[in-house]
Each structure stands twice: as structure tokens, then as C-alpha cells.
Amino acid sequence: MTYLEWLKQASLSLNESESPKRDAEILLGFVTNKTRTFLMAFCETELTQQELDLLDTYLKRRQEGEPIAYITGMKEFWSLKFQVSPSTLIPRPDTEKLVEIALEYLPKVPCEVLDLGTGTGAITIAMATERQDCLFTAVEKSEQALHLAQNNAKHNGVNNAYFLLGNWYKSLKGRKFSMIVSNPPYIDENDIHLSQGDVRFEPRSALVADDQGLADIKLIVEGATKHLNQYGWLLIEHGWQQGEDVRTIFKQNNFQLVETHTDYSGNDRVTVGRWFKP
């Protein structure tokens, strides 16, 4: 069977996927270790039996709904490559919006930035590659995820970030920062989307929060008042229907210039506020 024949067959079998053709291309590229351009240019290349057996295994996993990123162990974010595992969320394009906004608000002078619940390290590492003059601290409560983030930093050549094991602010001992960023759990435990798509395979602890998904956001905003320098910025990613609630939480904690930014689909996604101690 040729590359082209397998791609056609696999695409048809992935009819429940949002992107069956792209999924098939990623799996074929992963097994053959060839680029997408190579696969298209040499589409008549015959697959070996070993390659076909591997493709069959991976295709079945994808048909059962397992995310492509978990099958390949890799995900691209901010034009960087990240190792992923079932111990972490899969970095998503919407979170690139958080990085983009954070870089806009980041002071032009060297400063310190805190990333809470770093997971794969995607936010910290993406920002650190853009602002090598700044020092980044990333906190993660999962030891397995923390090791993954450290490896991702190393593989992406980042040496201006370090990683701490801890739950939110507990390991920081009164340290203060010019900016705090976070993509915390924000999904309500009764949300029907938890039983659909990729999130079925992702760690529930990184997705779900009490109080209709707002519990961790409240903890982060309240704690930020003790860990931000005067006029420092707090940026939090949240659900598309949570913008108003999150803005209220910011204002209740004396944040100024509170604003919610939309993602690339036009949905509320990132709320930002500036800390001002009365």
C-alpha cells in the first residue's frame, strides 16, 4: 500500500474526527518520520509491513477518540515543539492568545514573571523564548508534569526559566512578580463537554474546578494581590462564558484596568487586570 492509498483509507475511517485528513497525515508522518511535503511529493512510496502494523495500531487509538498529541507524544505550540503526556493538558491554539497578550503587557525592561499550573510549560517557554531578558518561574503541582515541562524547556533551548513543584502560591514564600499568568482548571464538573472529544483523555484535575469552574480562578486572583508588585499585571485564561464573572472577581480584589480579550474565534478567553494596592 502506498502513502496516498493509506491516507485515503485512513481519512475515510476517521469520519468522526474534526480533521480526518490532517489526523491521517500526522500519523503517517510520525510513523515514517517524513515531512508533510515529502509525503505529498512521494505519495506513491510503498509502506513496509512494519509501518502498516504501527499505523493500524495508531489509527485504532485515534478512532477510539484518543488525541493525536497523546499518540505521537508531541504538540506544536507557538511554533515550538512540546512533549505531551496524559499527565498534562494538550496545549491549544487559544492559549497562544494568552501568550500574545501577556507579551504585549509585559514591561519593556527585564522583570520576573510567574506562570501558575504550567503543565507542559508551554506558556512559560513560549514567553521565555521571546523575552530572554526576563526571568520566568513556573509552578506545577503534578511531579510528572513538572518533569515534562523541564524537559520541554531544555529541548527548546530555554535557560531563563525554572520550575517549582507546588500548588498555586504555596511554594513561593512571599516572592513578588511583575506579571502572573495562568491557564487554570475552569470547567464546571457537570459540563457535558467533558464526555466529548479530546478532553475525555486529559487529566480531570487540570480541567475541572468547583464553584461552576471559578474556584481556582478565585484563588489565583486573591493570591495575586500578595505576589504582584504594585502595578503588576495578572492574566488568566478562562471559559468563553466566564468573562463577566472573572472581571467581577478581579474588581472585587481591587484590580484596575480590567478587560477581557477574545480568542481567535471571537470568544471571551483572557481577562487581564493591573494590581493597585489602595
Binding-site members are 117-121, 140, 168, 183-186
Give yes or no for a contact between 250 and 273, defined as CB atoms under 8 angstroms apart. yes
> b/e map of 239-269 (b: 16 or more CB within 10 Å)?
beebbebbbebbeebebeebebbebeeeebb
**Residue 181 backbone dihedrals phi, psi, to 5 degrees:** -125, 150
Could you list the residues known to form a binding site for substrate, using ranges: 183-186
CA distance 253 to 28: 51
User: With contact defined as beta carbons under 8 Å apart, do 228 and 111 qualify?
Assistant: no
Cβ-proximal residues to 161 (8 Å cutoff; 6+ apart), any chain: 121, 124, 125, 128, 135, 136, 137, 138, 153
Rounded to 10 degrees, the C-alpha dihedral 64/69/70/74 comes to 160
Which residue ranges make up the annotated binding site for S-adenosyl-L-methionine? Answer: 117-121, 140, 168, 183
* Residue position matching grid coordinates 510549560: 121
| Dist CA 36 CA 30 (whole Å) | 10
Contact 208, 189 (CB under 8 A): yes
CA distance 73 to 127: 22
CA 66 remoteness from chain centre: 17
Q: In this structure, which amino acid lies at residue 43?
A: C
